[in-house]
Chains A and B, each alone.
Chain A
Amino acid sequence: NAGVMQNPRHLVRRRGQEARLRCSPMKGHSHVYWYRQLPEEGLKFMVYLQKENIIDESGMPKERFSAEFPKEGPSILRIQQVVRGDSAAYFCASSLGIQRTGELFFGEGSRLTVL
């Protein structure tokens, strides 16, 4: 399966701990997007990355959240000192180029629960 792979699928953290979510894009895709989904809400854009570059992080909280997409390895979304409000499903999507007209492929998501 050459789809977008996310892990872990489920993650439980206590308040104050760190959460790391990983995303391996589809083979050949160099553009990665992270979205957050809260219950009964649509997906909210967080950050757009290309290899070794953050292109747009306008949807990501300024504090505690960071993202990277290194030259080698998966993209990582890192949440430091998690709070209960961080509990959500985090989806990664990838595209071959800048996302246009249906070229975006989503992973199955990582569900973070903060106790």
Chain B
Amino acid sequence: TQLLEQSPQFLSIQEGENLTVYCNSSSVFSSLQWYRQEPGEGPVLLVTVVTGGEVKKLKRLTFQFGDARKDSSLHITAAQTGDTGLYLCAGEDTNDYKLSFGAGTTVTVRA
């Protein structure tokens, strides 16, 4: 199992502020996915990044995959209270079908 480390573990910000969460590994992944999970719910896929250096934008969310495909970041611009949740990154190995999940970053956006 490949280890994915997410930082910070907890993040609390005011509505309107920006935030960045990180996902790092010593392993190379064929793709990396970001999920958001709300309390009592299952993870919901936000985005998949596949190519090293790739940047994907989803409204106020920007996802980046490192050049070496070992790390990724999620940046939220002008956070809203609806962005509150647990953000999980998950890496997929080329020869495997099991996703390796990070422990997640709990984001709280205060009104």
Contact = CB atoms under 8 A, between A and B. Distances in A.
Contacts of B41: 108-109
B98 A59 contact: yes
Contact of A102 (B1, B6, B45, B100): B45
Contacts of A43: 43, 88, 90, 99, 101
A36 B74 CA distance: 24
Contact of A42 (B4, B42, B50, B98): B4
A100 interface: yes
Contact of B42 (A40, A100, A102, A109): A109
Contacts of A98: 97
A17 interface: no
A1 interface: no
Nearest to B88: A42
Contacts of A4: 42
23 contacts: A6-B42, A40-B103, A42-B4, A42-B6, A42-B104, A43-B43, A43-B90, A43-B101, A44-B101, A48-B97, A48-B98, A59-B98, A91-B43, A99-B92, A99-B97, A100-B31, A100-B97, A101-B31, A101-B48, A101-B50, A102-B45, A106-B35, A108-B42
10 closest A-B pairs by beta carbon, nearest first, are: A42-B101, A102-B48, A106-B42, A43-B101, A45-B98, A42-B103, A108-B42, A101-B31, A101-B48, A106-B43
